[in-house]
Structure 1
Amino acid sequence: MPQERRFSFEGLEFRPDIIEDLATSMLDLATSDTDFGLLLTGGDSEAHLIQARELVGLPEYCAVLDIPLSPFLKQYRLSNVPARPPLGSYIRLDDFSRLLDALATRAGCETFALDWTKWLIETLPDPIDCQGADDTVCMAAKYAPDLRSAIDVLANCASVSHDLAMAECVSEGATTALQWAFPYSISCRNQITDRIAGAYCRRISVLTGGLDVVVSVELNRDEPVDAGPYREFFGPAISFDAPFNRIRVKTSALDTPNLRANNDIFVALGELNRRRLADKRRVHSVVGRTCEAIAADLSDPDLTLSKVSRNMALSERGLQRRLSDEGATFQMLHDKVRRQAAEDLLTATDLSISDIAYRLGFKAVGNFTRAARRWFDRSPKEYRKERQSAAAQ
């Protein structure tokens, strides 16, 4: 077998694809204007996004499981994404999260995303590339001088890779926590949580040379039927149903030097990520912010424009006017968020119809049933049966 070509730079060796990615990143930095990246999937412009390279390796893993991936990609508007998406390209976060949940249902495996991550770790030539193909945030963490700098990058620039409601690094004395939360509007979060948390933990392990530095892991996902695989992957101090995701590491390990460190690459990628982060913030409109505020309090049966505007630090009249400028109304967005959450909860969970109605803020199940007939032209029970049957085929 021919030896893989590598390039040297300041005493370090790099694969050609890393050099290509870095060159592309620098070109993006030099030529990009206000566009934060290329959206590769359809849908409204207010959708939350995740970098398209999260799909790398999924076709190969589904082939191992003998799962035909094409119908699922078509269903979730991902069939046009190239096998190796360019840096700075994005897909919808809700499409990706629903795709993973649907594949978990098809495989009959609640640990689908976790098993996929483990398979990537075992299959890829570089064990740190556990996310299939590095985006610019993970590339920066890869070349950080130490674990502290790497975790800071993952927290402060996380939204370059995927939209989050919160991401931060918090010092807690003997431990330091990397914590994050997905937007409230993302209802299918079990598999996507496993995917991101698994990749983060693996990256921390590799950056410290395999040292046992993770103290505990808390996941904002439903408790699985069998927690054994999670204890095996994350360690015994794993918990579920947390208010947000949190990986605690030993503070004493933060100064552990990274053997792959390269300050020039780290600084260049840091500047690129700051630019991308600023561009993404500029395009986030009031409609998107309002949808997220509605989703955060969706279970409130008395949710009003007045309540949402206060939570957004806007006057009621001001929010109403800004929504009107973008061709939207509060009632329209409230109905949109409810419908999307209903679709996700009916398809990807086993919650009772009454529980779902409560989570959507309906005062009575009958009101939810009437809304479902308007949205889906069928009752919630009929819609659930149809969607789950389709996913199992």
Structure 2
Amino acid sequence: MTQRSDIVTLADQFQILASLGRDLRDYCAPLGIDLDAIAKPLQIDTDCFEDFEARVSFDSFCRLMEALAVISGDETFGLKFGRFSKPSGTGPFGFGLSNAPTFRDMLTFYAKYVRIIADLDVFNATIEKNRIAIEWTHSPLITQCEQFVDYSAATALRLFQFHAGRPFTVLEARFERREPRDKTPYNDLFSRNIRFGAEINELVLPGDVLDSVNPSADRVMFDFMAQKCEAITQKLNRKKDIITMLKEEFIQTMAKNDRAIADISRRLGMSERTLQRRLKEAGSSFWEVYENTRDELSLRLLKDTDLSLEEISHQVGYSSQSAYSRAVKRWHDMSPLQLRRHLRAHA
């Protein structure tokens, strides 16, 4: 039988700073939500939210945010929590940002040390003549993250406006999340020029904020926090293993049924022979990783979404629902509907 502990996957290697959840209890209490009861099945001990050095599973934290949005009945839960949470909840990173002498200093610090906050795949800050483009994304293995995307964008905008010394309108915004039922809160907070379902998250800021001065900055404290963050970053630096890299590639192309080993090895920047050798050294094979990724994605979609079996069949790369059903039966000795009921009963 498949339990939650059986489907702990490579997504759990990605982590975020636990103290991002420090204000969740205060935010949830007026809503009548028992935070501990929601966090426990996700294997999150909420006591760690008070620890500025602790880290938790990025995937589990995202799932917690999604669950809280559903329970509260508020699809803008992440946006509102982002505006509610205190910037001091991020330890040396937050203290460093708050003491940056200028907007430019803040942005440089943010880009250099943001991975202290979360294991991001991409974070770029591009300064052009009249605009500043900030883009970010995370591993595609983290599949339930709409509320976290909202939360991270809202907290980033608040920080940027603080350092600009004034509210400003975002020139453009793009988000990976699906389009919400009501776009008004997103238009009001970010921009009228906003797009959902994008390949990467992006906020484009007006260029004239770049040399804004922070009147409450402390240069000594800023330099000290930079040293602290540098030390933390050195401890966190790691390279993805070959199985993680391959799974991420499969997740991104699964629905297109794009599984030619020659094409995938080229996108990973290596020869087909090198990819196969590295997989063998890791005790696996190309097709084993592919089937495991299919199974893992299937489990997540059955458990965490209300997509139809036909839609899930397409998402995991099967040409028909019947072929998908046979695969699930082979993997778990039950039908997809039976497996969905089982997963939700044991969540």
1:323 deviates by 2.6
Measure, in 1, the Cα distance between the counterparts of 2:187 and 2:314: 33
Distance 1:389 1:111 in 2: 27
Taking the TM superposition and a 5 Å limit, the aligned residue runs for 1:66-81 are 66-79=32-45, 81=47
- Correspondent of 1:222 among 170, 173, 178: 178
1:6-155 map, 5 Å: 47-79=13-45, 81-87=47-53, 89-120=54-85, 124=86, 128-129=87-88, 133-155=89-111
2:188 is aligned, of 226, 232, 248, to: 232
User: For residues 163 and 385 of structure 1, what CA distance do their matches in structure 2 show?
Assistant: 32
The aligned residue for residue 171 of structure 1 is 127
Q: Describe how 1:139-288 pairs up with structure 2 within 5 A.
A: 139-212=95-168, 214-288=170-244
Task: Find the aligned partners of 2:261 and 2:229 in 1 and give their Cα distance.
Answer: 35
Separation in 2 of the partners of 1:105 and 1:377?
A: 31
> Cα offset for 1:321?
2.6
* Distance of 2:218 and 2:330 partners within structure 1: 57
Distance 1:106 1:386 in 2: 21
Cα separation, 2, equivalents of 1:66 and 1:252: 43
Contact map agreement 1:205 1:213 (CA 8 A) in 2: no
Q: 1:353 aligns with which of 298, 302, 309?
A: 309
Matched, 1:295 2:251: yes
Task: Give the secondary structure class of the aligned counterpart of 1:297.
Answer: helix
Which residue identity is paired with 2:37? P
2:78–2:148 contact (8 Å) kept in structure 1: yes
Deviations 1:266-323 (A, max 9, x none): 2333344344434433353233223222223222324144333222112223222323
Further displaced range: 180-189 or 62-71: 62-71
Structure 1, 260-269 or 95-104: larger mean CA deviation = 260-269
Q: Residues 184-220 of structure 1: CA distance to partner in whole angstroms, max 9, x if unpaired?
A: 1121121111111111011111222233253232211
In structure 2, distance between residues paired with 1:291 and 1:159: 21
Q: CA deviation at 1:333?
A: 2.6
Q: Which segment drifts farther, 244-253 or 293-302?
A: 293-302
Distance 1:272 1:336 in 2: 39
Tell me the alpha carbon deviations over residues 126-166 of structure 1, each in whole angstroms, 9 at most, x when there is no partner: xx44xxx1243333222222112212332333222111221
- The verdict on how the C-alpha distance between 1:309 and 1:96 changes in structure 2, with shifts beyond 3 A counting, is same
Is 1:366 equivalent to 2:331 in the alignment? no
TM-score, normalized by length of structure 1?
0.77
1:244 Cα offset (Å): 1.1
Q: Measured at CA, do residues 230 and 385 of structure 1 come closer, stay the same or move farther in structure 2, by a change above 3 Å?
A: farther
TM-score w.r.t. the length of structure 2 is: 0.86
Which residue in the other structure is 1:328 paired with? 284
Task: Sort the Cα spacing of 1:361 and 1:149 in 2 relative to 1 into closer, same or farther, 3 A.
Answer: farther
Match status 1:338 vs 2:294: yes
Q: Percent identity?
A: 26
Q: How many angstroms does 1:374 deviate by? A: 4.4
Whether contact under 8 Å (1:151, 1:178) holds in the other structure is no
- Paired residue secondary structure (1:292): helix
Q: Is the 8 A contact 2:10 2:244 kept in 1?
A: no
User: Alpha-carbon deviation of 1:109?
Assistant: 1.8
> For the structure 1 residues 46 and 247, does the alpha-carbon distance in structure 2 shift closer, same or farther, using more than 3 Å as the test?
same
Change (3 A) 1:119 1:314: same
SS state at 1:247 partner: strand
SS state of the match for residue 249, structure 1? Answer: strand
What code does the residue aligned with 1:286 have?
A: I
Q: CA RMSD in A?
A: 2.7
* Distance in 1 between residues matched to 2:68 and 2:344, nearest whole Å: 11
Sort the Cα spacing of 1:387 and 1:46 in 2 relative to 1 into closer, same or farther, 3 A: closer
Change (3 A) 1:268 1:332: farther
- How has the CA–CA distance of structure 1 residues 45 and 65 changed in structure 2, closer, same or farther, with 3 Å as cutoff? closer
